[in-house]
Amino acid sequence: MADDPRDPARDGSGDDPGEEFRDMLRDFLSGNADLDPAQLASAAGLPNDPELVSRLIGQLQQALQYSGDGINWGLAREQAAALAARSAVASTPAEVSALEQALHVAALWLDEATGIAALTAEPALLTRAGWAEATMPVWTQLAEPVATSIATALTRVLEEQAPEELTSMIGDAGRLMRNVGGTLFAMQLGQVVGQLAQEVVSGGDVGIPLLDGENRQAALVPQNVDGFAKGLEIPIEEVRLYLAVRELAHARLFRHAKWLRLHLLTQITDYARGIRIDTGPLEELAADFDPQNPEALREAMTSGKLIPPKTEEQLAALGRLETMLALVEGWVDVVTAQATTRLPKSAAIAETVKRRRAAGGPAESAFASLVGLELRPRRLREAAAMWQAVSDAVGAEQRDALWAHPDIVPGDVDIADPAALIARLTAGEPEPDDVDRALQELLDDESGERPHEA
């Protein structure tokens, strides 16, 4: 009788862990595996919950049948929405009405603080699951370069480590292992976004534009808004109004500065594409993997061990990204403060928001480890001070005009020395030189506004 690969006699302590891993992989891919569901849940970073484990098994089996070459990000969306929905509490009609009224008042107050036009789409009130689904396209865009790199590296390492007979047995081993590795990564991302959905209060809460800029421009998560207010000795009506103003200000800025959303997301994805995966930990994992401790697989993917220290180029790119995030959130802070002067506790709420953004939540830290990217602006207070100084010196109209083009938006130097920026803004237009005059004459001639001279 042929040896059964699941025979307990083969689990002796003297066996080679690498051989055990290959046996487990062979069994799983051939459909004969009898793996402990709790181990699978641990490897995917999930609690040992029957419903979640059942979903995990189904998704991994789908990965084996998946014929596409890329990562099936639909799994991340399903995972995030499912986790977010598990902790959901429906808002009462009174709570929904109160938030809708807060958004209406917030729009009126913002009109007094900035000339940037109001939104063209009504703000949405989202459930936690709704927020996860609405924002997942951006999360996958940010994670895709790293996920692809990890899946490719995992495929290469396992193909090199696997015995020849295993490769011939399962056929296209590279594609299968790429799909399984991609599935595990997608589910980790879904886990992170599902946790984020329990923490964020709005569409712009993490600084980057997560919502569709046309169909859905701003959103609040009522359950999380109320959760944010708990523990603060501040009337919930004030908290709702402040957070509504802040979300609308963030959304208005990105709608007004049409270049900003693409510019910011391009900076992030360019940085992510520069990340290279360290195959050393993967090689160790493939050689020494213990099926009785699948936590090692999850820990390798989520701890940041696979992402080596940043290069000088990456540090420079990260610095530019952090500056832009600080400029965005600093502007939002200043405009929100001006628009909420009627709220007695607005300064206390603002300080809570700043401390919360500076520290970040557990899910945000998990995303940073998974993708190798932090989204916290380190110079937020300095950027806000710069925008406030500009507002005091030249007014809201000139302040907001600085968002017209990426070439004129302030930078690191301006954050460090607002006085020099203000001096430039108050110096007036310089007299045109000969080149400027000649260029203007040429443009006038082409537009027909000035007749040609004989």
Q: Decide if 196 is inside a domain.
A: yes
46 is a domain residue: no
Question: CA angle at residue 166 from 42 to 286, to 5 degrees?
Answer: 40
Give the pairing of strands 124-125 and 219-220: parallel
Asked if residue 414 belongs to a domain, the reply is no
Range 322-345 average pLDDT: 95
Q: Which is more confident, 250 or 73? A: 250
**Tell me: the pLDDT tens digits for 377-433?**
778 899 999 999 999 999 999 999 999 999 999 999 999 999 999 999 998 655 555
Pick the range with the lowest mean pLDDT from 274-283, 331-340, 342-351: 274-283
pTM score > 0.85 for this model? no
pLDDT band with cut points at 50, 70 and 90 for residue 249: very high
Q: What is the pLDDT of residues 117-149, one digit of tens each?
A: 999 999 999 999 999 999 999 999 888 888 887
Q: Can you tell me the mean pLDDT for 59-77?
A: 68
* Residues 72, 182 contacting (CB under 8 angstroms): yes
pLDDT above 90 coverage of the chain, percent:
40
- The span from the CA of 153 to the CA of 181, in Å, is 10
As for how many domains the chain has, the answer is 1
* Whole-number pLDDT of residue 119: 93
**pLDDT of residue 328 exceeding 70:** yes
Burial of 132 (0-12, 13-18, 19+ CB in 10 A): buried
CA distance 403 to 398: 10
Is 12 a domain residue? Answer: no
Q: Which pLDDT score, from 0 to 100, does residue 312 have?
A: 81
Q: How far is CA 380 from CA 135, 328, 331, 334, 368, in A?
A: 24, 9, 9, 11, 19
User: pLDDT tens across 340-370, in order?
Assistant: 999 999 999 999 998 888 777 666 777 777 7
Name the more confident of 98 and 66: 98
Average pLDDT, the chain: 78
Percent of the chain with pLDDT over 70: 64
pLDDT attached to residue 7: 43
CA distance 228 to 243: 10
| Between 350 and 181, the higher pLDDT residue | 350
Q: Looking at the domain assignment, is residue 295 inside a domain?
A: no
The pLDDT of residue 15:
46
> Which pLDDT band, with edges at 50, 70 and 90, does 207 fall under?
confident
Domain that holds residue 95: 73-276+311-378
